[in-house]
C-alpha cells in the first residue's frame, strides 16, 4: 500500500497540552504519522501513553478545559486541528466514525439498537424509515449478527457484549465512513469473541473500503490485525513501521522489552518473565531526553538528549542506539 | 500422594435471578489442589471462576456439595468456627484500588488482619510484633518501607497490587486464591507481578488457585489447569498437557483465539469459534458446548459427557476428545 501517494490522514507534529498543576504539560508530544486508504494502522502502548487522547483529538472530542492542540492533522486534505465544532459534527459519523471499548457509551439505553442505527442513517441522508431499517438489518447481518431483524428490536442491555460490539460497529459503518477509529474495541471481550471482532475489522477494508486506526494495549491484537504499527511511550512515538518488521526486529528497546515481557503461549516456559522495571512516568514527571531512560537497560549519557524519530531500514526509531551502530538483536519466537 | 490442601466435591451454586429463574453458576464442580500446586482456572466471562474461588474460601456458601480445607469440611461451618481457619486462606482481587480503603495508610491497611487475629500462641500481637511483620512484608513484596506511611492513591496499579499481596500474606496463609490479579495491569507491570507470585510460592511454599482469562499468564504460573465452561470443568490436567495438547474442543478453541504477538501469514489463522457463550440460566442440553463446538455430533445434543480420563491422567468432558490428547 502506498501511503505516501495521497494519505487519507496525515498527522504532523500533533501536540496536545493540558494544564496540570498550574503549568501546561504535553500529553502528546509531536506525534506524526500517515494512514493510507484501506490501511489498518495500530497504535499500541501502555495505559497513559496517550492513545485515546490522539484519537479524541482527531475526532474533535477533547473537551478538557484549557487543552491546547497544535500541529496538523489533514484528513482528505482538510485540516482538523482548529476545525470548528460545527464542521466536526458533520464530519463525525459521516466521514470519520469511532468505536469504543464500552458499546454502552455509543447507545442510549432507552431506544432499541435498530432504532438508533436507523436514526444515524437518516441523520446523514434522505432515507425513509423503512429503507433505513432495511439497511440496518443488512449492516447487522454483515457484522455477523445472527437473526439481525430480531436483534434490531432489542435494547442495548439485552444483548451480549459481543453482539453489542457488533451493533456499535454496524452503527459506525452506517454512513460508510472512510476512517474508522477503534479505541480498544475488544479489550472488554472474551478471547473467542475478540477473535470474531478482529476478523470483522480485517474484512472491513475489503468490503467497506474503510481505513482503520486501531488503538490497543495488546501487542497480540496488533500483530494479528494491523498493516503498520506505531508504538507510543509517554506521549511520543518510540517506533513505527510495517507490523511484520516491528515484531520480527523491534528497533526500540521499549518495543523489545514490551514484547519480551509477554509470557509465551508456546515453547519453553521461562523461569522468570523478563520485566521492565518501574512504571511509565505521569505526564508532568517525564524526564528530559529520552522518556524511556529511567527504565531502559541500554540507557547511557547520549540518552539525555531526546532522540528524534529516524528511519532505520523500513522502520522509524526514536532511540540513539541505531545511530551508534548498536542495533538490537532480532527476536526469536516459537509458534 | 500428599493429601489435598483444598478440595471441592460436586459443588453447586445457584442464584435466584427473578421471575422464578435459577442461574446455576456452578454445576457439579470437583477438584483438589495439593500443597505447593498452582491450579490455574480459565474460561470465558461468567463461566463461574470467581464463584468457585469464593466458594473455596467460603466467602460464599455453595448450594450443594462440599468444600474441604486441610482435612476439615468447612462447607457448613459458622463464621465463628471458620475464623481461625480463615488465617490459612486468603484472596487477592483484580481491582487493586477497590480493595484498599483510600483514607487509610498502607501500614494500617496491612496491619488490620494482624490486629484482628491472634498469633500462633493465641496471643494478641504487640505493636512491636506488628511493626516487625510489616517491615518483613514490605521486603517480601518489593516495596520500600516508606510506603507504609502513604495512601493508596499515591501508588501505581502494580504497586497497589503488591500492597494487596502483602495484606493477603500478613497472616502467613497456606492457600491464596487470586482472582484475575494481573488482568488490570499493563504487560510490563504484569510480568513483574507474575514473577512476584512465582517467587512467593517458592519462598513461602504457598499453594495458589490462580484465576485468569489470559492463557499465557496461566501457563506461566500454573502446574495444573482447569478449563471451565458454563459452570462446569470441561478439562483438567497438567498445565503443559492441557495447554499444549488440548483434548477438549473448547480448550483448543480458547488457545487458538489468543492473539499472539507474532505476525503470521493470513491463511495461518484458525477460523474463530462461532457465537457467544449461551445464558447460564438456560444452558444447552447434552454437552453444554455443543452450540459452538466445531465437531459436535447428534449424540452431543442430548447426552451430557462426564469428566473422564482419556488415558493420560487428565480429565476431559467430551464424547470425542481431540486426537492431540
Ligand atoms: N450474586 C449473584 N447473583 C446472581 N448471579 C450471579 C451472582 N454472582 C455471579 N452470578 C452469575 O454467575 C455466573 C458466574 O459468575 P462468576 O462471577 O463466577 O464468573 P467468572 O467466571 O468469574 O466471570 P468473569 O471472567 O467475568 O469474572 C455468571 O453468569 C454471573 O452472572
Ligand atoms: N483532562 C485531563 N487532564 C490531565 N491529564 C489528562 C487528562 N486526560 C488525560 N490525561 C492524561 O493524558 C495521558 C494520556 O491519556 P490517554 O490518551 O487516555 O492514554 P491511553 O489511552 O494511552 O491510556 C495520561 O497520562 C492521562 O492521565
Ligand atoms: S535513547 Fe537511550 S534510553 Fe532511550 S530507548 Fe534508546 S537507549 Fe534506551
Ligand atoms: S461432547 Fe460433543 S459437543 Fe461437546 S465438546 Fe465433545 S464433541 Fe463437542
Ligand atoms: Mg485509552
Ligand atoms: Mg470473575
Digit-coded pLDDT (tens) for A272-303? 999 999 888 888 889 999 999 999 999 999 99
User: Is A333 domain-assigned?
Assistant: no
Beta strands of A6-143 (E only): which ranges? 9-20, 23-35, 40-44, 68-75, 78-79, 96-99
What single DSSP character describes residue A46?
A: -
Integer angstrom CA distances of residue A265 from A50, B42, B239: 29, 14, 11
Task: Give the dihedral sign, CA A207/A208/A209/A215.
Answer: negative
Whether pLDDT at A335 is above 70: no
Edge-to-edge strand list for the sheet holding B64-69: B22-33, B6-16, B64-69, B72-73
- CA B274 to chain A, closest CA, distance in angstroms equals 8
Which ligand 2 atom is the nearest neighbour of the CA of A183?
21
Tell me which residue has its CA closest to atom 31 in ligand 1: B46
Burial class of residue B245, CB neighbours in 10 A (0-12, 13-18, 19+):
middle
Its domain, for residue A185, covers: 2-95+177-317
A224 CA distance to ligand 6 middle (Å): 27
Burial class of residue A285, CB neighbours in 10 A (0-12, 13-18, 19+):
exposed
User: Is A332 domain-assigned?
Assistant: no
3-state class percentages of chain B: helix first, strand second, coil last, to nearest 5:
35, 20, 45
Residues A152 and A222 in one domain: no
Nearest CB partner across the interface for B261, out of A46, A195, A220: A220
Average pLDDT score over residue span A204-231:
93
3-state class percentages of chain A: helix first, strand second, coil last, to nearest 5:
35, 20, 45
| A261 contacts in chain B (CB < 8 Å) | 187-188, 190-191
Domain B6-88+171-311 belongs in CATH node 3.40.50.300: yes
Edge-to-edge strand list for the sheet holding A179-183: A96-99, A179-183, A211-216, A40-44, A228-233, A236-242, A315-317, A310-312
* Residue A242, φ and ψ in degrees, nearest 5: -60, 140
Residues A41 and A141 in one domain: no
Q: Cell for B234?
A: 470441561
Neighbouring CB atoms inside 10 A of B303's CB total 14
DSSP result, B168-228: HHTT--SEEEEESTTTTS-HHHHHHHHHHHHHHHHHHT-EEEEE-S-HHHHHHH-SEEEEE
Q: Cell for A295?
A: 527504565
User: Is A189 domain-assigned?
Assistant: yes
**Which residue from B212, B160, B210 is spatially nearest to B183, judged by alpha carbons?**
B212
User: Is A329 domain-assigned?
Assistant: no
Residue A66 CA to residue A146 CA, distance in Å, equals 46
Ligand 2 pocket test, candidate residues A22, A27, A235, A258, most atoms within 8 A of CB: A27
Residues A281 and A309 in one domain: yes
Task: Give the dihedral sign, CA A41/A45/A49/A55.
Answer: positive
Beta strands A211-216; A23-35: pairing state? unpaired
Neighbouring CB atoms inside 10 A of B232's CB total 21
- ipTM > 0.85? yes
User: Is A331 domain-assigned?
Assistant: no
- CA B215 to chain A, closest CA, distance in angstroms equals 7
**Which residue from B220, B224, B162 is spatially nearest to B5, judged by alpha carbons?**
B224
Nearest CB partner across the interface for B194, out of A146, A162, A273: A273
pLDDT for A240 equals: 97
Is ligand 3 within 6 A of the CB of residue A299?
A: yes
Is ligand 3 within 6 A of the CB of residue A321?
A: yes
Q: B306-314: long-range contacts at Cβ-Cβ below 8 A with a sequence spacing of 24 or more?
A: B307/B30, B307/B233, B307/B234, B307/B236, B310/B247, B312/B237, B312/B241, B313/B237, B313/B238, B313/B241, B314/B235, B314/B236, B314/B237, B314/B238, B314/B241, B314/B242, B314/B247
Beta strands A211-216; A96-99: pairing state? unpaired
**Percentage of residues in chain A with pLDDT exceeding 70?**
98
SS3 A60: coil
Is ligand 2 within 6 A of the CB of residue A62?
A: no
Integer angstrom CA distances of residue A65 from A19, A26, A69, A134: 8, 14, 12, 42
pLDDT for A1 equals: 46
Flag if A248 and B263 touch (Cβ within 8 Å). yes
Average pLDDT score over residue span A105-120:
93
Is ligand 1 within 6 A of the CB of residue B54?
A: no
Flag if B263 and A279 touch (Cβ within 8 Å). no
Q: Cell for B77?
A: 461451618
Q: Give the bridge partners for A214, in sequence order.
A: A42, A182
Beta strands of A81-147 (E only): which ranges? 96-99
pLDDT for A204 equals: 85
Digit-coded pLDDT (tens) for A177-212? 999 999 999 988 889 889 988 988 888 888 888 999
User: Is A335 domain-assigned?
Assistant: no
Q: Does A279 touch chain B (CB under 8 A)?
A: yes
Given a contact cutoff of 8 angstroms between Cβ atoms, the answer to whether A205 and A176 are in contact is: no
Residues A183 and A199 in one domain: yes
Burial class of residue B98, CB neighbours in 10 A (0-12, 13-18, 19+):
exposed
Nearest CB partner across the interface for A279, out of B44, B189, B277: B189
How many A-B residue pairs are in contact by the CB < 8 A criterion?
A: 127
Residues A81 and A226 in one domain: yes
Integer angstrom CA distances of residue A1 from A111, B13, B194, B263: 41, 55, 40, 18
| B216 contacts in chain A (CB < 8 Å) | 262-265
Given a contact cutoff of 8 angstroms between Cβ atoms, the answer to whether B262 and A222 are in contact is: no
Q: Does A244 touch chain B (CB under 8 A)?
A: yes
Is ligand 2 within 6 A of the CB of residue A222?
A: no
| B186 contacts in chain A (CB < 8 Å) | 46-47, 217, 279-280
Q: Which residues of chain B have pLDDT under 70?
A: 1, 96, 266-269, 324-325
Ligand 1 pocket test, candidate residues B8, B14, B22, B46, most atoms within 8 A of CB: B46
pLDDT for B267 equals: 62
Whether pLDDT at A101 is above 60: yes
Residues A198 and A155 in one domain: no
Q: How many domains does chain A have?
A: 2
B309 CA distance to ligand 5 middle (Å): 45
Nearest CB partner across the interface for A191, out of B189, B219, B254: B254
| A262 contacts in chain B (CB < 8 Å) | 187, 191, 216, 261
Whether pLDDT at A125 is above 70: yes
Q: B130-137: long-range contacts at Cβ-Cβ below 8 A with a sequence spacing of 24 or more?
A: B133/B170, B134/B107, B134/B110, B137/B110, B137/B166, B137/B169, B137/B170
Helices and strands (H, E) in chain A, number of each type: 10, 12
| A195 contacts in chain B (CB < 8 Å) | 256-257, 259, 272-273
Residues A203 and A278 in one domain: yes
pLDDT for B94 equals: 83
Contacts of A79 (CB under 8 A, 6+ apart): A72, A73
Nearest CB partner across the interface for B263, out of A46, A221, A223: A223
**From A114-118, A124-128, A237-241, B312-316, the region with the lowest mean pLDDT:** A124-128
User: Is A252 domain-assigned?
Assistant: yes
Given a contact cutoff of 8 angstroms between Cβ atoms, the answer to whether B101 and B152 are in contact is: yes
Q: Cell for A146?
A: 445472527
Q: How far from chain centre, in Å, is Cα A271? A: 33
User: Is A328 domain-assigned?
Assistant: no
Flag if A217 and B186 touch (Cβ within 8 Å). yes
Q: Does A192 touch chain B (CB under 8 A)?
A: yes
In this structure, which ligand is nearest to the CA of B232?
1
In this structure, which ligand is nearest to the CA of A276?
3
pLDDT for B325 equals: 46
Q: How far from chain centre, in Å, is Cα B248? A: 20
Integer angstrom CA distances of residue A245 from A232, A236, A299, A314: 17, 20, 23, 7
Residue of B nearest to A162 (CA): B276
Residues A107 and A44 in one domain: no
Q: What is the CA radius of gyration of chain B?
A: 21
Q: Cell for A225?
A: 490485525
Digit-coded pLDDT (tens) for A307-322? 999 999 999 999 999 9
Digit-coded pLDDT (tens) for A48-79? 899 999 999 999 999 889 999 999 999 999 99
Residues A71 and A183 in one domain: yes
SS3 B29: strand
Residues A111 and A226 in one domain: no
Ligand 4 pocket test, candidate residues B235, B246, B249, most atoms within 8 A of CB: B249
CATH number (domain holding residue A192): 3.40.50.300
Residue B133 CA to residue B171 CA, distance in Å, equals 9
In this structure, which ligand is nearest to the CA of A183?
5
**Which residue from A80, A73, A46, A72 is spatially nearest to A238, judged by alpha carbons?**
A46
- CA A101 to chain B, closest CA, distance in angstroms equals 14
Flag if A273 and B186 touch (Cβ within 8 Å). no
Residues A71 and A123 in one domain: no
pLDDT for B20 equals: 87
Residue A255 CA to residue B25 CA, distance in Å, equals 41
Amino acid at each position: 500500500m502506498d501511503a505516501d501517494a495521497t494519505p487519507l490522514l496525515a498527522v504532523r507534529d500533533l501536540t496536545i497540552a493540558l494544564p496540570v498543576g498550574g503549568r501546561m504539560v504535553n500529553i502528546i508530544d509531536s506525534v506524526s504519522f500517515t494512514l493510507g486508504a484501506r490501511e489498518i494502522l495500530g497504535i499500541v502502548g501502555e495505559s497513559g501513553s496517550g492513545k485515546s487522547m490522539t484519537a479524541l483529538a482527531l475526532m474533535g472530542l477533547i473537551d478538557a478545559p484549557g487543552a491546547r492542540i497544535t500541529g496538523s492533522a489533514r484528513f482528505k486534505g482538510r485540516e482538523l486541528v482548529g476545525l470548528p465544532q460545527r464542521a466536526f459534527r458533520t464530519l463525525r459519523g459521516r466521514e470519520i466514525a469511532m468505536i469504543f471499548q464500552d458499546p454502552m457509551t455509543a447507545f442510549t439505553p432507552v431506544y432499541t439498537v435498530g432504532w438508533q442505527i436507523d436514526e444515524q442513517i437518516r441523520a446523514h441522508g434522505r432515507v425513509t424509515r423503512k429503507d433505513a431499517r432495511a439497511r440496518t438489518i443488512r449492516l447487522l447481518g454483515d457484522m455477523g449478527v445472527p437473526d439481525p431483524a430480531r436483534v434490531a428490536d432489542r435494547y442495548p442491555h439485552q444483548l451480549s457484549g459481543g453482539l453489542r460490539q457488533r451493533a456499535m460497529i454496524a452503527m459506525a459503518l452506517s454512513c460508510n465512513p472512510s476512517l474508522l477509529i477503534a479505541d480498544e474495541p475488544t479489550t472488554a471481550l472474551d478471547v473467542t469473541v475478540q477473535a470474531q471482532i478482529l476478523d470483522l475489522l480485517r474484512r472491513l477494508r475489503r468490503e467497506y473500503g474503510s481505513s482503520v486506526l486501531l488503538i490497543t494495549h495488546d501487542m497480540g491484537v496488533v500483530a494479528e490485525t494491523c498493516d503498520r504499527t506505531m508504538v507510543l511511550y509517554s506521549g511520543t512515538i518510540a517506533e513505527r513501521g510495517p507490523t511484520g518488521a516491528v515484531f520480527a526486529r523491534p528497533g526500540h528497546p521499549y518495543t523489545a522489552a514490551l514484547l519480551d515481557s509477554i509470557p509465551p503461549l508456546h515453547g519453553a516456559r521461562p523461569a522468570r518473565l523478563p520485566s521492565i522495571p518501574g512504571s511509565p512516568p505521569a505526564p508532568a514527571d517525564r524526564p528530559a531526553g529520552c522518556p524511556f531512560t529511567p527504565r531502559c537497560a541500554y540507557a547511557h549519557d547520549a540518552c539525555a538528549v531526546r532522540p528524534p524519530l529516524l528511519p532505520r531500514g523500513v522502520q522509524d526509531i526514536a532511540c540513539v542506539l541505531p545511530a551508534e551502530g548498536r542495533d538490537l538483536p532480532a527476536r526469536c519466537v516459537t509458534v | 500422594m500428599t493429601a489435598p490442601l483444598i478440595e471441592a466435591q460436586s459443588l453447586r451454586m445457584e442464584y435466584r435471578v427473578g421471575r422464578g429463574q435459577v442461574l446455576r453458576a456452578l454445576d457439579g464442580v470437583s477438584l483438589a489442589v495439593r500443597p505447593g500446586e498452582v491450579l490455574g482456572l480459565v474460561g470465558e466471562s461468567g463461566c463461574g471462576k470467581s464463584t468457585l474461588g469464593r466458594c473455596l474460601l467460603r466467602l460464599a456458601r455453595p448450594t450443594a456439595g462440599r468444600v474441604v480445607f486441610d482435612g476439615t469440611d468447612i462447607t457448613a461451618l459458622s463464621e465463628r468456627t471458620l475464623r481461625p481457619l480463615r488465617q490459612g486462606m486468603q484472596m487477592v482481587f483484580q481491582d487493586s484500588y477497590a480493595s484498599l480503603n483510600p483514607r487509610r495508610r498502607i501500614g494500617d491497611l496491612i496491619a488490620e488482619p494482624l490486629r484482628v487475629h491472634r498469633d500462633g500462641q493465641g496471643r494478641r500481637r504487640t505493636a512491636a510484633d506488628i511493626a516487625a511483620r510489616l517491615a518483613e512484608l514490605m521486603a517480601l513484596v518489593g516495596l520500600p518501607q516508606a510506603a507504609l506511611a502513604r495512601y493508596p492513591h499515591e501508588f501505581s496499579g502494580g504497586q497497589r497490587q503488591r500492597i494487596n499481596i502483602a495484606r493477603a500474606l500478613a497472616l502467613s496463609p497456606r492457600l491464596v486464591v487470586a482472582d484475575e490479579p494481573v488482568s488490570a495491569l499493563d504487560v510490563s507491570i504484569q510480568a513483574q507481578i507474575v514473577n512476584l507470585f512465582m517467587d512467593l510460592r517458592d519462598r513461602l511454599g504457598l499453594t495458589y488457585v490462580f484465576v485468569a482469562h489470559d492463557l499465557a499468564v496461566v501457563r506461566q504460573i500454573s502446574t495444573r489447569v482447569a478449563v471451565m465452561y458454563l459452570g462446569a470443568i470441561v478439562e483438567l490436567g497438567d498445565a503443559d498437557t492441557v495447554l499444549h495438547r488440548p483434548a477438549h474442543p473448547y480448550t483448543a478453541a480458547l488457545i487458538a483465539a489468543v492473539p499472539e504477538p507474532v505476525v503470521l501469514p493470513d491463511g495461518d489463522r484458525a477460523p474463530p469459534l462461532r457465537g457467544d457463550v449461551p445464558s447460564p440460566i438456560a444452558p444447552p442440553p447434552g454437552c453444554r458446548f455443543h452450540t459452538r463446538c466445531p465437531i459436535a455430533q447428534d449424540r452431543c445434543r442430548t447426552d451430557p459427557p462426564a469428566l473422564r480420563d482419556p488415558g493420560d491422567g487428565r480429565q476431559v468432558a467430551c464424547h470425542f476428545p481431540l486426537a492431540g490428547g
